Amino acid sequence: MLVAGLLSAQDTTALVRDTLPASLVVDSLRTDSSLSLSLGIPLSKDALEAAVEYNARDSMKIDASGEKIHLYGNAFVGYTNITLRAAHIELSWAKSEVIAEGMPNDTTGVMEGLPEFTEGENKFVARSMRYNFETRKGIVYDAITEEDDIRVRGERSKFITAPPGDTLANDIIYSENAIFTTCTADDPHFAITSRRQKVIPNKLVVVGPSNLQIMGVPTPLWLPFGFFPVSKGRRTGLIFPRDYEYSEQWGFGLKQIGWFFPLGDNFNLTLAGDIYLEGTYGLGTTLQYRKRYGYNGNFNFRYDSRRQEQIVNVTDPLTGEPVLAPNGSIARKSIFERSNGIYINWSHNQDAAAHPLNRLGGAINFQTNDFQRRVFNDARSVSTNVINSNFTFSRNWLDKPISMSVAFRHSQNTQTRQMSVDFPTFQFQTQALYPFRKKERTGPKQWYEDITLRYTNEARANFSGPDTAFFEQKTLSDARYGMQHNATMGTSFKVLKYFNLNPGASYREVWYGERLSATFDPTRGIGIDTTILPNGEIETEITDFGTYQFDTLSGFSTFRTFSANLSLNTQIFGTYFFKKGPIRGLRHVIKPNISVGYQPDYLNNPNYYNRLADTLSPFLSDEDIYYSRFNNGIFGGTPNQETQMRLSYGLNNIFEAKLFSRRDSTEKNIKLFDNLTINGDYNFAADSLKWSPIAMRGTTRFFKGATTFSFSATFDPLERIEYRPGLFRRVDKTTWSESRTPFKFVDASFNLNTNLTIGKIRALFQGQAEELVEEVDPNGDELRPVEETDFLSLLENFSIRHNMAFGFSPVAADRDTFKVTTHSIELRGSLGLTPNWNVDIGSIGYDFTRKQTTYPYLGLRRDLHCWEMGFNWAPTRNTYSFFLRVKPGTLDFIKVPYQRNNADGQRAFR
């Protein structure tokens, strides 16, 4: 047989010459047809397809009589796409076979250099092995093969390698007494053991009757067979249940069992659901898609149908009276009702490079029948009261100053169960247009060339109703729709060098397809007051003589509004410096603003408002009652005001300080008050109550931004009288004329918000800058790696939020009240007690105003190398869950769950 090989050691050339003619020393190592043509020697049909390369680090021993080569020390043999490394390799050119094994360390005696066989991307390590290059078959002992995250350990394995370039053939490994695990420890903590296994690398693993072992101890859990796909890339396949449980109401069930479908290169589709033996089920689909430089997004749809137990009293079918139980109490029984719900979540993002002018993106969140609270149990889902959607398509024109957008907007209150959808919302708008600006300038620019004109058009339809009946005909019948046009014109220029003068005007026109109409009905709403006189006679008095019936009439209707204004503003700076001390300077910035605004009379315009006669008792008949035919419009109606000629004034104050640091001899600026504003106005056109209340607002921050304090206060230059206990109204008398004070205090409100993290604590007390955290968990909370061992490091992933709001206002002419409206504290995060123990606090807090804890959600996790153990508890819902499971991977269906769901938790409360 002709030997095909390449000797890498120079001193072996002589040995080859001793066994073969000198003229064949080089050419005999070749296997191609050129050897036969040049020497006239025919090649054997058993010749190898390519040369076998081999070398060794320590030594190479050639057994000429046995036709073998022994390689020692980091030995290497290569053939086509196959490589073999080991401490000792025996290469037989007579049999075209290699035998590889490890060798004990001279000092420790530990086996080193175990055979490592590689074919393309496939690789395994064994105690010893044998492989034939001609048959492409081999035998390995104590082999370790890795397929994806699965490690297969076979006591004795036979394997067949596919010829290179043959796309129809597969590598196959047959194993005896093998274990199947995802644990990476030398002695696996768990494994599925079987007498026979078949592995097709990068495709699947098939096992015969198998048993689950934990820490080497067999368990009663047996599988008649196993089929585990280990394909690389995306393949269609079964999704094992994420969880399974037993419910007192629903029976035994599987959660999130389904099927995965890859759709082309850009889409992944998952169909999964929950199913219980007692009739409760849920169906869902998840679509993930991504196109590079194009778009990406996720679409989730879930339908949930639950069998819920209701406890009702037992009644007599004839009399309808409650039936008594033997113990004397009212007998009760269980009835079951079905509750259905839908949940839709879609988020779409367009890559900035996808299109220079068109943009499509946003998020849609929609649910019915309080889906999140019923199905999910985490703190965020339970405590969310409002969900919103906003999905928009917008387009700009490169050579035109216009843009347009079409949007879908949705708002849903999970407490009131009311839902509102705005679709479509169409907007068209222009950029700032300069109608008087010259295209070709021949002289200096005139002031009127800076006059700008802007136009905005919006058309919208609104659908509102309860989420349980939103898709009924009534929602469509009660829909509101309309269109509005807004045109504004203005400019700005300098006056007296330091002042900005800003004239402007606006015009608004609204179109509706319906209007409101009022009809007086004297037969309805009649009120009678009965009084018993001292002589025993009964006296009756009619206190209401009828009522108005409001109806919505179809037909085109429109209204128009106009306003004009002229404002003047400037800035005043005041600075004072100190030569010594920690405060080196103070700065006060004042931004005064004065404006005059005009608005015509809409209240007395019969095209917009109608006056209704008062149907109450005569002592209130002098009060006018108005209604606008546009009150129910989607864009609202006209202002319910008479002619307005207002002089408005405002002051915006900013206070800053320059601080000197002795630590590094540097100076830095800080804001003492972010803003302190004062606003009010005087209406020249009003016949009374010309002065408006004075509003004061301010915001500042403490402790390097950890705490924000804001307040608002109201003062009135007009007197107020108490016409009912605790209720005041303004009268046309100034406080200066009555008590020689420019104004009187009315009320005030204060807000104190604190969001504290360990980074902010370090920045506050240690002078360190807070770490910028970009990684967040699925709930949106910040995650920081815990590297230090001090106490603060244990709280690195914690955040404390404190909110407090209180107000001060008079309740009577001679006394005031102080009321705390909001006062709560909340803690979120995780506490790493040890490298393996973690305490998770999804949410826990206390509401001091309602004197109760906010929704607490607590968890405990333990890392067990390839396993994990955890416990979650929501005491207010009486739910909990315990799990002991394999970490996420191919075998994560192996778990021991024990839990109580929402339905069973509510039942336990009863």
CB 303 within 8 A of CB 284: yes
pLDDT of the residue at 240: 81
Give the SS3 label for residue 383.
Answer: helix
> Rounded distance, CA 242 to CA 881, Å?
14
Count of CA atoms in the C-beta half-sphere (13 A) of 752: 11
> Rounded distance, CA 800 to CA 756, Å?
5
CA distances from 855 to 378, 706, 757, 801, 872 (A): 10, 24, 21, 14, 13
> Rounded distance, CA 104 to CA 102, Å?
7
pLDDT of the residue at 813: 53
Q: How big, in percent rounded to 5, are the helix, strand and coil portions of the chain?
A: 10, 60, 30
**523-551, pLDDT tens digit by residue?**
665 555 666 666 666 666 655 556 777 78
**Helix or strand (DSSP H, E) at 509:** strand 499-532
Q: In this structure, what are the phi and psi dihedrals at residue 93, rounded to the nearest 5 degrees?
A: -80, -15
pLDDT of the residue at 331: 81
pLDDT of the residue at 30: 39
Cβ neighbours around 106 below 10 Å, total: 7
CB 464 within 8 A of CB 418: yes
Q: In this structure, what are the phi and psi dihedrals at residue 149, rounded to the nearest 5 degrees?
A: -105, 10
**565-583, pLDDT tens digit by residue?**
999 999 999 999 998 888 9
User: Residue 692 is encoded by which pair of tokens?
Assistant: 């408006």
pLDDT of the residue at 722: 82
Is the bond leading into 424 cis (omega within 30 degrees of zero)?
Answer: yes
- With CA atoms as reference, report the closest residue to 695 among 718, 683, 713: 713
In the chain, the largest separation of any two C-alpha atoms, in whole Å, equals 150
End-to-end, the C-alpha distance of the chain in Å comes to: 88
Q: In this structure, what are the phi and psi dihedrals at residue 102, rounded to the nearest 5 degrees?
A: -85, 175
- With CA atoms as reference, report the closest residue to 879 among 417, 381, 407: 381
> Rounded distance, CA 844 to CA 841, Å?
7
> Rounded distance, CA 102 to CA 88, Å?
6
- Please spell the DSSP secondary structure of 200-239, one letter per residue: ETTTEEEE-SEEEEETTEEEEEEES-EEEE--SS---EEE
User: Residue 306 is encoded by which pair of tokens?
Assistant: 């639950």
pLDDT of the residue at 774: 42
Between CA 253 and CA 259, with CA 254 as vertex, the angle to 5 degrees is 150
Q: In this structure, what are the phi and psi dihedrals at residue 765, rounded to the nearest 5 degrees?
A: -100, -25
- With CA atoms as reference, report the closest residue to 639 among 517, 482, 508: 508
CB 345 within 8 A of CB 298: yes
> Rounded distance, CA 283 to CA 306, Å?
12
Q: Please list the ranges in the chain whose pLDDT falls under 70.
A: 1-48, 167-168, 230, 232, 521-546, 613-624, 759, 762-795, 811-816, 908-910
Task: Please count the residues of the chain.
Answer: 910
% the chain with pLDDT above 70: 84
Where helices occur in 20-81 by DSSP H, the ranges are: 33-39
